[in-house]
Amino acid sequence: MKDFFKSVFASALGTFLAIAIGGFALIVLIVSLASSAGGNHDSATVSVKPKTMLVIGGDLTINDTPAHGAPGLDIFLLGGNGPEVDLLRALEAIDLAAKDRNIAGILLNGGLSAGVTQKAELRRAIAAFKASGKPVLAWIENGSQGEYYLSSVADKVLVHTAGEIELKGLSSYHMYFGETLKLLGVGVQVTKVGKYKSAVEPYIGGAMSEPAREQSAALMGGIWKRILGEMAKSRAMTTPTLARIADSAGIFSAAKAVELKLADKTMHRDELVKQVIAAGAGADESGTSFLQVSLHRYAGKVRLPHGGGRIAIVYAEGEIVDGWGAPGDVGGDRLARDLRLLRGDKRIKAVVLRVNSPGGSAFASDVVAREVGLLRKKDIPVVVSMGDVAASGGYYIAAKANLIMADASTITGSIGVFGLHLNYGELAKKVNLGTDGVKTARFADLLAEHRAATPEELAIVQTSVDGIYEEFLRIVAEGRGLKRDGVHEIAQGRVWLGEDAKGLRLVDKLGGLRDAIKEAKLLAKLDQAELIQVPALHSGRDNLLQKMLSDDQDDSPLFAKASVDPAKEFLKANAKWLRAIRVLNDPKGVYLTCPILPDRR
């Protein structure tokens, strides 16, 4: 018996040691992969030979935020396939390339995932690069409209002989499942303030309301006009001419694109290589391609300014949710914690809050807005830089800043509130599901999911919604130096473009992220400033799961692109509707949300 226990003990000990050693090895592997799969690389590892072409594109994703935390299922459903770099480093890398004697020029290679405002900033940086005298070429194979918008800034637009260019205008569609919920027996009750507060419409009907259609048409029309104007100027055409071309077909063959002056020349890939070498790039060792470095990798050479007082760039990118939040969300508690820590850091002289959010939880937005106000009270200037969208809760957290800056195409405003109550009362009847119980007070089961709310209960919620709306108006009025009634007139849940918001005094100046940094330096009275990013690069975003679910192709050959998995693309396309429900976690069920999300293609 003693030998038996010895054998069992030895076996158990061996198993434990094997698990422990295996676990340790796995941790080492994860750490190793995390360090090697980072969004940027140490400058010591970035070697650029003379006559190297900086390649921008190739399934590159540009986000505002340097890191999103440890990824989960969202990376699979919503994340990109290729490498990522944050906007600030991308812009700084283009500036660095203009001064780098080893960089021969820029080749725009398509496949870039970024928002309209991000692409607008990239275009400005590339236009400034052209002043160095170095060439900028664009290569299009089967280019989307977003790809063409960025490519049009190049000196020459080259398109594959068998390829095409898309130029078809903008559209904005939403899925409406209100009638489907009724059919299933799911009850939906809404309390709201704001004629134009349309984010709740998908839950209660089957089509867009007229106020929502009105504001969507105005927004899409304004952005389209801006995009057309910039492309027309780059291509030495008139805006009406370009508009007529878009209306004529939407998709144009390579030959037709050249005929219409959308592109300069058609060619095959091997001919492109010769064209790039003729423009100043060196041939690679094989003699079949040219020396190149991806923007993703070259951004590793960027070192943000050091010396002087510190300016913190804080990122609020994604839906605003109560609590800590998941990757890709703006967790109210997490963002408030970051701002609070900055407020207690004597080295911080100013904060740039980059907001790229359609809003979300009313409670979480208020928690963040409080911290923004406390920074300002402590004489730490706060400059808000708005990205593609900074509306509803995204505007709520911005309103108390010293200065608000937006791109001309930023979607902002949406000062309105709604409450949402879903119940399964009718569904329960259909499937003979009973719910019964007891309560100790009249409103103990207020907004219970098993039944529709009574008119009296809805009145209670409406009072809460009205109160939050008044608080929203007060915060905007105080932060912007306006009167309550004046804010109410331009509120009503109405969404505005950045250029219109400036005229309404909801925005102070038009400009991008780096313009906001300059303004922060001025407000803080700093000649030099050290820039820090919150969250910082390599703060936990890359891990084994990320490596498994992404197709990172760092410095892959020019024409190699991430393979398209139709099943995965289907999941991505429909996951946003599931995500829209998941982020509805406000403790009061009250939301400051804008329904219009820009297409990044």
The catalytic residue positions are 197, 392
Give CA–CA dist 439/195, Å, rounded. Answer: 37
User: What's the length of the chain?
Assistant: 601
Q: Where would I find the beta strands (DSSP E) of 468-560?
A: 495-497, 509-510, 529-534
CB 323 within 8 A of CB 332: yes
Give CA–CA dist 226/233, Å, rounded. Answer: 11
Cis? peptide before 327, omega within 30° of 0: no
Distances (CA, A) of 63 to 60, 150, 544: 10, 16, 21
CB 157 within 8 A of CB 432: no
Q: Where would I find the beta strands (DSSP E) of 473-528?
A: 495-497, 509-510
Q: Starting from the edge strand earliest in sequence, which strands make up the sheet with 320-321, in order?
A: 187-193, 417-423, 590-593, 359-361, 320-321, 330-331
Give CA–CA dist 240/219, Å, rounded. Answer: 19
Q: What three-state secondary structure class fits 482?
A: coil
Q: What is the DSSP letter of 323?
A: S
Q: What is the DSSP letter of 562?
A: P
CB 347 within 8 A of CB 586: no
Residue 588 phi/psi, 5° resolution? Answer: -100, -5
Q: What are 320's two structure tokens?
A: 């605003």
